A and B are shown apart, each in its own frame.
Chain A
Amino acid sequence: MHEAELRPYIEACQLGERRAQRFIFERYYRLMFGVCLRYMSDQDSVQDVVQEGFLKVFNNIEGYTFKGSFEGWMRRIMVNTAIDAIRRRNAAGWVLGDEGSFEPVDQDEGWEMEEEEGETFTVHDVLDAMEHLTPMYRAVFNLHVFDNLGHQEIADRLGISVGTSKSNLAKARRNLRNLLLTRKGKDHHVE
């Protein structure tokens, strides 16, 4: 369904129309579940986050002005909700990543192109590997790679420095890569 075809449903949601809300909910639930699943693995937690995210979507939908993609707008709400949930859950130990290491890390550190050429990973491979990342690594990686945030935005969002964001990204990427290749039968060290 194109965004233009979606417009009447969004407008009806802005009027509080239940059927339209249901349409949007059912149309996007699985997609948004997939978005949140990248940030946390526990299905019950993801479900809670998605529900909370949709509540925010409908409570704030009057603020959506049809500038930019509606799906992108919803996705940002879901990601923010997921990040908030992770922070709440890890209130004491949120900074489980590389906070403290302010040395910029070469983003291509340890990258060996030849080894990955031709390798394909399934969603489940990647999700399994992500489970082994710390919440901070995972959040930084997802925000940068999948949700297209720059390091400054990530730093602002997560309350870390830009250097830490870069460092965490590089390490998250390296760990993910090694985890995935290990599962493919190749021996790699995971930090």
Chain B
Amino acid sequence: MSSEHPFDEQLKNAFQGFEPDVHANWMEFESSLEKPSPSAGTDASGMSRWAVAAAVIAGGAFMWVAKPTVEEWLVDDVNSMEFVSMEGEGAQSFDQLWEDFASVTEDFVSDVLNAEGEAALAELGAEAADSPLESVTNPTSGSVSVNAPTSDGATAKSRDNAAETSVSNKLPSEERLLAELPFDASVREACEGVEVAFELSGLDRSMSFLWNFGDGHFSSDPAPRHVFNRPGTYDITLSIRPPGDGMIRTRTIQNMITVLPKPEAQFGWVFPASVSGKKVRVHLQDQTPDATATQWVVDGQSTRDNRVQLEVPGVYPVNLVASNKYGCLDDAKHEIRLGDRNGILAQARFSPNGDGHYDTFMPHSLLDMEDAWEMVIVDRDGQEVYRTSDASEPWDGELPDGTLAADRSVFQWTVRCVANDGVIRLFTDRLRVER
């Protein structure tokens, strides 16, 4: 319901767009925010006991259910993030990776089926869950889960803050490694396109690894490097299977990698319609959306000035380096081509005297040029004397006042061409009249 009282309208007008001059103190506010927490989990010790017991009961049957479950989980991750498909360049299929990762060998089956007795395992599992060393309590560090079928055939998978440990005759340090899966990345925050390295602390390369980068890409490399090409926040999941051990441990660190958007550096440039002399003043135009700072590099020289003088003829590489509010960089590169009469097959002089020889001026290349073009001719004072975009209308030496250009007078012509792909070129040179 809105008030339609005239007085109310007067007051509302007074407040239109009102934003008091106060400082938004993010730092102070941020301290009052809760730390990001992973998704809610279940009771750690209880879950651990269930997982361990389930592992023992189900043994080798695990592989029948683990794959579809984990696959579904991984695919869910991908779907929820709406990122690139696995068909992307360099991506291996999940099936292929999974097969490599979880291939069942005779030893593996034997190890699983001959695992310790149920009671002993459950006891050990309980101890492991109760041990401080085995508990992952850092809310930002994710959790370890052991995938194993439960008695009702479902797969036990926890993503809570507790660690479920497998039960085997591992050394304490290795046990802890398996329980915590302390993997990390070279950076937690990166600009898109930057490579991030992942590694598991205390890495044992004899294990099988499966990394899910959360963007639809996976790797079975023990210590992979991955480039995130889309901005966003990514959950990273590592699954490992030690040799001779039936348990696949997985750990997801939610929001582990934040990929910041980089600017899309773009620029164009504008040539003057006409030129006097051997230097062309080129106006560079930054077309980068959302850039907060830009730097030009023209022919190897760094400058912040977007108006540059370039000598004819020449090919000038121009780079624009743009940064955005996230501090991410991008660069765009083009070549500015400036040609003289040799580049467009133009004569240096002409003789508009009606003798049938070089009576008119038209650069030869323009006769069959497919690009859009325009030619402007100016006198020594820079005053325009002729302009055309029609190759059938060469300059015959007539000046705007109807007189003919004087013998030995010098003019300068400039041709600007725009190709179908938007590339623009400029040609310019002097022209001498000789009767």
B82's closest neighbor in chain A, by CB?
A: A11
Q: How far is the CB of A179 from chain B (nearest CB, A)?
A: 12
B10 is contacted by which of A26, A29, A43, A120 (Cβ under 8 Å)? A120
B6 is contacted by which of A18, A113, A146, A148 (Cβ under 8 Å)? A113
Q: In the docked arrangement, what's the CA distance between A12 and B2, Å?
A: 33
One of A51-59, A63-71, A94-102 at the interface: A51-59
Contact with A along B315-347 (1 / 0, CB 8 A): 000000000001000000000000000000000
One of B18-26, B99-107, B118-126, B195-203 at the interface: B18-26
**Given A33-B20, A126-B11: A17 touches B26 (CB 8 Å cut-off):** no
| Chain B 176-233 interface residues, beta-carbon cutoff 8 Å to A | 232-233
**Given A17-B258, A145-B3: A34 touches B32 (CB 8 Å cut-off):** no
**Given A34-B19, A123-B18, A150-B1: A111 touches B7 (CB 8 Å cut-off):** yes
**Given A15-B255, A37-B20: A145 touches B10 (CB 8 Å cut-off):** no
Q: How far is the CB of A46 from chain B (nearest CB, A)?
A: 8
Contact B258 A19 (CB under 8 A): yes
Contact B14 A126 (CB under 8 A): yes
**Given A17-B255, A17-B258, A21-B33: A31 touches B10 (CB 8 Å cut-off):** no
**Given A18-B30, A120-B14, A126-B14: A173 touches B20 (CB 8 Å cut-off):** no
Q: In the docked arrangement, what's the CA distance between A25 and B11, Å?
A: 27
In the complex, whether A116 has a CB less than 8 A from a CB of chain B is yes
Contact B19 A16 (CB under 8 A): no
Contact A173 B2 (CB under 8 A): no
User: For this complex, into which size category does the number of interface residues on chain B fall?
Assistant: 20 to 34
Q: In the docked arrangement, what's the CA distance between A39 and B175, Å?
A: 59
**Given A119-B10, A177-B7: A30 touches B233 (CB 8 Å cut-off):** no
B1's closest neighbor in chain A, by CB?
A: A150
In the complex, whether B304 has a CB less than 8 A from a CB of chain A is no
Interface of A (DSSP majority class):
helix
| Chain B 22-75 interface residues, beta-carbon cutoff 8 Å to A | 22, 24, 26, 28-30, 32-34, 36-37
Contact A107 B2 (CB under 8 A): no
Q: In the docked arrangement, what's the CA distance between A108 and B233, Å?
A: 55
Q: In the docked arrangement, what's the CA distance between A120 and B8, Å?
A: 12
Chain A residues lying within 8 Å of B19, measured Cβ to Cβ, are 30-31, 33-34
In the complex, whether A82 has a CB less than 8 A from a CB of chain B is no
Contact A30 B24 (CB under 8 A): yes
User: What 4 A-B pairs have minimum CB-CB distances, sorted nearest first?
Assistant: A29-B24, A16-B36, A30-B19, A150-B1
18 A/B residue pairs, CB under 8 Å, sorted by A: A12-B233, A16-B255, A18-B30, A22-B26, A22-B30, A29-B24, A33-B20, A34-B18, A43-B22, A51-B28, A58-B33, A111-B7, A113-B6, A121-B10, A148-B1, A148-B2, A148-B3, A153-B1
